[in-house]
Amino acid sequence: MSKKTRTLLAIVLVELLLAGTWFYLANLGAAHPQRVAPEYQRTVGSTMGAAMGGFLGLGFVLYLMAAKRDREKR
């Protein structure tokens, strides 16, 4: 398996993990609205969205580095 493929697979798995965490936290706040702050959903959404976007940007750079190493290897 090439470095590009492994990098892409790792990026997808981490993004799915972050999306699952986001979904869990959103459902937790929706299931218990009396126990969370009024701005809970907005805070969770902006925080998890920033985390997913930041990691996706980092993943793009890592993918480009892996592609360069694959080309150098040949």
- pLDDT of 57: 97
Could you state, in order of their start, the residue ranges of all structural domains in the chain? 3-73
pTM for the whole structure: 0.87
pLDDT tens digits, 17-61: 999 999 999 999 999 999 999 999 999 999 999 999 999 999 999
- pLDDT of 73: 81
**Is the pLDDT at 1 greater than 90, yes or no?**
no
Q: Mind giving me the DSSP string for the chain?
A: --HHHHHHHHHHHHHHHHHHHHHHHHHHHHH-GGGS-TTHHHHHHHHHHHHHHHHHHHHHHHHHHHHHHHHHH-
